[in-house]
């Protein structure tokens, strides 16, 4: 969950589809772009920055920005640890770069990639226990990864520890990068969504998951009304995600949400 003082901004970003602000590039670090390309942006009189992506032009079967928005909206409704996202249509972009982008809110002043703690066995036992305890709180967020068929979680940069050094307890893991999920590459067409698979995750998360909490997350996702999921997906504009692709995403999410509990029962220890 984002810090309390951000609650109203997060609510607003959930309610809106597109940002109504102008965003300009900043050179702020430490965020470095991934495979899709992106950069930090800021907007006049808005207190937080954001990460804009993708720069790489997307084919219609690779709706990266739309996927980010849909997943962030579902996460917001379940209070999971994914920063809020808005769609952003770029103007005056270089001709070989994407127009149909999104921005992900940068909630914390500093971020540490979780890859830094993947070698947990090298840390003292007490630290190992503390890290695993902290990560276990994200078991419900993992249920969302199962629902959306996340393919990119075994990645050193796609979870970051957001921190506010001035306020040490104000620290949380943020689950990022949902571009390659849902019906990416049309993999959910022709009932392909029925195949629920274990999300590739690093050992550090695997050994921290609490099955009871993953099941709670699965049940909360299953309880999302079909019409609610449909509303989240249907408002995405045609050029960001074509209607046939949206239909597959709706069918997939509403079908898969009922397969999660059994999958978790069978596959998690
Ligand atoms: N909201 C955010 N808060 C903090 N850091 C962020 C945020 N969004 C992105 N980042 C940082 O930017 C990096 C790149 O973002 P992201 O993983 O979404 O793009 P990408 O790797 O290009 O995605 P893709 O899988 O589409 O190639 C992240 O690893 C992270 O360090
Ligand atoms: Mg990434």
Query: pLDDT tens, 115-158?
Result: 999 999 999 999 999 999 999 999 999 999 999 999 999 999 99
Nearest CA to ligand 1 atom 11: 31
Q: Give the separation between CA 120 and CA 125, rounded to whole angstroms.
A: 9
Whole-number Å distance, alpha carbon 6 to ligand 2 midpoint, is 24
- Tell me the mean pLDDT in the region 26-41: 81
Alpha-carbon distance of 86 to 53, in angstroms, equals 11
Q: In this structure, which residue's CA is closest to atom 24 in ligand 1?
A: 36
pLDDT value, residue 2: 61
Quickly list DSSP for 165-200.
TTSTT-EEEEE---TT-TTGGGTTTTTGGG---PPP
Q: What is the per-residue pLDDT for 161?
A: 96
Q: How many helices (H) and strands (E) does the chain have?
A: 9, 8
104 CB less than 6 Å from ligand 1? Answer: yes
Query: What are the tens digits of pLDDT across the range 208-255?
Result: 999 999 999 999 999 999 999 999 999 999 999 999 999 999 999 999
Question: Does 84 sit in the ligand 1 pocket, CB within 6 Å?
Answer: no
On the question of pLDDT at 196 being above 90, the answer is yes
Neighbouring CB atoms inside 10 A of 32's CB total: 10
Residue-level pLDDT at 28: 74
Angle at 248 between CA 184 and CA 255, to 5 degrees: 105
Cα–ligand 1 centroid distance for 150 (angstroms): 14
Structure-model confidence comparison of residues 50 and 30, the more confident one: 50
- For ligand 1, atom 4, the nearest C-alpha belongs to 106
88-126 pLDDT, tens digit per residue, is 999 988 999 999 999 999 989 999 999 999 999 999 999
Q: Report residue 167's pLDDT band, with 50, 70 and 90 as the boundaries.
A: confident
Candidates 35, 156, 158: which one to mutate for ligand 1, based on the most atoms within 8 Å of Cβ? Answer: 158
Distance from residue 104's CA to the centre of ligand 1 (Å): 8
pLDDT of residue 27: 80
Check if 71 has its Cβ closer than 6 Å to any atom of ligand 1.
no
**pTM confidence score:** 0.96
Average of pLDDT values for 1-21?
A: 89
Ligand 2 center from residue 101 Cα (angstroms): 15
- What's the gap in Å between 17 CA and the centre of ligand 1? 20
Mean predicted confidence (pLDDT) in 57-77: 98
pLDDT of 1 above 80: no
Minimum mean pLDDT range among 21-30, 79-88, 225-234? 21-30
Query: Is-contact 177 65, C-beta < 8 A?
Result: no
| pLDDT, tens digit, 9 for 90 and up, residues 35-52 | 889 999 999 999 999 999
Query: What pLDDT does residue 4 have?
Result: 72
pLDDT reading at 17 higher than 70: yes
Best mutation site among 19, 38, 115 for ligand 1 pocket (most ligand atoms within 8 Å of CB): 38
- From the CA of 227, how far away is ligand 2's center (Å)? 30
What distance in Å separates the CA atoms of residue 128 and residue 8, rounded to the nearest whole number?
35
């Amino acid at each position: 969950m984002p810090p309390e003082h951000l609650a109203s901004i997060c609510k607003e970003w959930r309610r809106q589809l597109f940002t109504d602000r102008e965003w300009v590039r900043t050179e702020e670090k430490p965020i470095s772009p991934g495979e899709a390309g992106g950069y930090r942006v800021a907007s006049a009189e808005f207190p937080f920055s954001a990460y804009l992506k993708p720069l790489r032009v997307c084919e219609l079967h690779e709706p990266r920005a739309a996927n980010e928005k849909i997943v962030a909206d579902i996460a917001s409704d379940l209070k999971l640890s994914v920063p809020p996202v808005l769609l952003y249509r770029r103007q005056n972009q270089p001709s070989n770069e994407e127009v149909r982008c999104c921005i992900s809110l940068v909630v914390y002043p500093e971020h540490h990639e979780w890859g830094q703690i993947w070698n947990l066995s090298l840390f003292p036992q007490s630290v190992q226990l503390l890290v695993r305890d902290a990560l276990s709180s994200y078991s419900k967020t993992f249920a969302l990864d199962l629902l959306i068929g996340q393919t990119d979680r075994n990645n050193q940069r796609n979870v970051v520890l957001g921190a506010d050094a001035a306020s040490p307890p104000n620290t949380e893991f943020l689950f990022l990068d949902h571009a390659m999920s849902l019906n990416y590459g049309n993999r959910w067409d022709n009932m392909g969504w029925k195949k629920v698979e274990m999300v590739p995750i690093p050992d550090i998360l695997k050994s921290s998951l609490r099955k009871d909490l993953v099941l709670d997350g699965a049940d909360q996702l299953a309880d999302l009304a079909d019409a609610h999921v449909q509303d989240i997906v249907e408002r995405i504009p045609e050029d960001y995600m074509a209607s046939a692709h949206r239909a597959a995403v709706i069918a997939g999410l509403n079908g898969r949400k009922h397969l999660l509990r059994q999958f978790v029962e069978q596959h998690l220890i």
